[in-house]
Structure 1
Amino acid sequence: MTTQDMLDERYGRRRTPARRWAMGSGIAVAALAVGAFGWFTIQGAMDDVDADTTAFEVVDEHSVMIGFQVTAPPGRAVACAIEAQDEEHGVVGWRVVEYEASDLHARAFREAIPTTALATTGFVNSCWVVSSPTL
C-alpha cells in the first residue's frame, strides 16, 4: 500500500468513479446555470426601450399634444402608452400608439391624447418592444 493510499484511507478521502462523476456533473450544472443567467441578461438588454418626454402642450380641454423620443433596438416594432393627467394627478386621457420597425436607434414622435377633462400635463408612461405575431 502506498503512502497516498494510507492517507486517503486514514482521512476518508476516496477517489471513486462515482464521486468524480458527481463532481463533474455539479460543475456542468453550475456552468449551465451561469450561461443561462448570462443569456437572459443579454436578451433582456437587447429589447430594452427608453422613452423621454420632450414637450407637452395643452391644446384645449379635450386634448393634449406631447412630443417624445424613443430609443429602441433597430429593426424592432415599438408600442408606447401615453398619458394625460389633471392637476391632482388623475388620469384624464391615455392611449397606446404603435410604431413600425425602423433602422434608426432613436426616433422622435408627436402625438395627440384625447382627454375627458382639462389636463395639466402629458407624458410617456412606458414603451416596449412589440413581439411579432405568431402564425
Structure 2
Amino acid sequence: MTTQQTLDERYGRTRSERARVVLWTVVGAVAVAAVGLLSWATIANTVDAVDAVATGYQVEDARTVTLDFQLTAPVGSQIVCVLEADDTDHGIVGWKVVQLPASGTHTQAYSETIPTVAEATTGLVNNCWVS
C-alpha cells in the first residue's frame, strides 16, 4: 500500500462512486456543449461566405483599369466588394466600392472599371461581403 492510500484510509478521504459519476457527467456535458458551440460557429461563418477571384484585368489608359472577376456568394444576397488598382510598387492608385445586386445563382461574373490617379499595372478584388 502506498503512503497516500494509507493516509486516505486513516483519515477517511476516499472518493465515493457518486462523486465519480457526477464528475464524469459534468465533464461529458461540457464536452457536448463545446462540440455544439464549435459546430454552430462553423456553420454560421460559412452561411454568408463570399469568395471573389480576379479573372483578368485590362489597363485601358493612364487613368482607368477594367477588372473582370468571379463572385461566389449565397443566392439572393446583395454583395459589396472593394476593388483596387495597384502600380508597379504595389501601391494602391485607384479603388472602387461596388454594390452588386442579389443573384439567383451562386456564381456570377462581373466586369467593373476602376478610376486611377496614376497608371496602374494590375487590378484585384480586395474584399467582398454580404450587405
Q: Which residue of 2 aligns with 1:49?
A: 50
Structure 2 stretches lacking a partner, 5+ long: 1-8
Between the aligned partners of 2:71 and 2:41, the Cα distance in structure 1 is 23
Report percent identity of matched pairs.
Answer: 46
Q: Which residue of 2 aligns with 1:107?
A: 108
Aligned-CA RMSD value = 2.0
TM-score for the superposition, normalised by structure 1: 0.80
TM-score for the superposition, normalised by structure 2: 0.82
Q: Which residue of 2 aligns with 1:118?
A: 119
Code of the aligned partner of 1:52: V
Between the aligned partners of 1:11 and 1:106, the Cα distance in structure 2 is 66
Q: Which residue of 2 aligns with 1:12?
A: 14
Q: Which residue of 2 aligns with 1:94?
A: 95
Code of the aligned partner of 1:82: L
1:59 aligns with 2:21: no
Matches within 5 A, 1:10-49: 12-16=14-18, 18-49=19-50
> What is the Cα deviation at residue 13 of structure 1?
4.2
Partner of 1:104, secondary structure, is coil
Q: Which residue of 2 aligns with 1:6?
A: none
Code of the aligned partner of 2:14: G
Between the aligned partners of 1:19 and 1:111, the Cα distance in structure 2 is 65
> What is the Cα deviation at residue 32 of structure 1?
0.7
Between the aligned partners of 1:103 and 1:20, the Cα distance in structure 2 is 54
